[in-house]
Structure 1
Amino acid sequence: MMSSPADSPSPTPQAGTMAPFSVLLVDDDDVATEGVLRSFRKLGVHCNTVTAEDGLVALEILRNEHPSKRLGGPFLVLLDLNMPRMDGFQFLEALRKDPVLKQTVVFVLTTSARDTDRARAYNENVAGFMVKSAVGPQFSLLASFLDKYSASVCLP
């Protein structure tokens, strides 16, 4: 992705055009991660995708403290809830307390269909809550949704 000179503002994407964006996929399930990445490729979702196996690694990436992984903006986070070391709820709590990262757009992508998990996630200001089994075969509905979302929303 090329960056604009500091003295000239980046053009604002027009409605219906593809704005380049990045996705931070936070999930410890290698099969689910590969499924999401495969669906992006298959449906031609134009985004840079960076993966993190738990909330601690995700925070390192978002804070530019990870030794090798970088995330360009604008970006959004796809977050699993059930992970080792730092789970999705702990990640959301840390994210929302961080003055630089608190406005990050987060979509939960989880196996949990529990109403309590959904309510708790929305209390942490997530943009959406998706159950993995409901986002289509091989995550096709997820890929299609993100493609349309990125084309119609200006991410922070």
Structure 2
Amino acid sequence: MTNVLKILLIEDDMIEVMKLKRAVSKLQINCKIIEANNGEEALSILEKKEDLPDIILLDLNMPKINGIEFLGILKKDSVLKYLPTIILTTSSNQKDLLECYKIGVAGYILKPLKYEEYVSKIETLIAYWSINELKKI
């Protein structure tokens, strides 16, 4: 029996949310996607510390709390800091990349323009995190 990978997707663009769901469906991947439209919403989901996700997919450019601010808050929490957080963004800005790795991101993935490339990246990402030993918090 394979465990279902629980993914918290923090993304304010509904087209990107639909794209991820479509890719997961196309790949026939058994995972649970929890959606948050921004960093504030994600923090309210995570603050309960019940049924936490296995990984977080985080966009950088969001209203209220941007991805880098969210990551900083997450990594200061004694429990939540262990959740692997992968940046999924269009930003190829080296300053963003460096800042995310300084704070403690688990990965930084650029969203490609071509859908088939996106599907391939999502397939690799989920395959990798599905075989990892993840800390159960």
If the length of structure 2 is used for normalisation, what is the TM-score? 0.89
* Cα shift readout 1:132-153 (whole Å, capped 9, x = no counterpart): 1278527312321133113320
Kept in 1, the 8 Å contact 2:8–2:53? The answer is no
What residue is the counterpart of 1:34 in the other structure?
A: 18
RMSD of Structure 2 on Structure 1 (CA): 2.1
Deviation at residue 29 of structure 1 after TM alignment = 0.7
Match of 1:13 in 2: none
Aligned to 1:51: 35
Residue aligned with 1:149, SS: helix
Count of equivalent residues: 135
Alignment partner of 1:133: what SS? Answer: coil
Q: Which residue of 2 aligns with 1:75?
A: 54
Structure 1: gaps of 5 or more residues: 1-16, 66-70
Distance between the aligned counterparts of 1:132 and 1:124, measured in 2? 21
**What are the Cα deviations for residues 111-148 of structure 1, in whole angstroms up to 9, with x where unaligned?**
10011111111111111101112785273123211331
Quickly say closer, same or farther: Cα 1:74–1:110, change in 2 above 3 A. Answer: closer
Residue deviations 1:66-96, cap 9 Å, x none?
A: xxxxx73551000000000011011001101
1:105 corresponds to 2:84: yes
Pick the structure with more helix per residue. Answer: 2
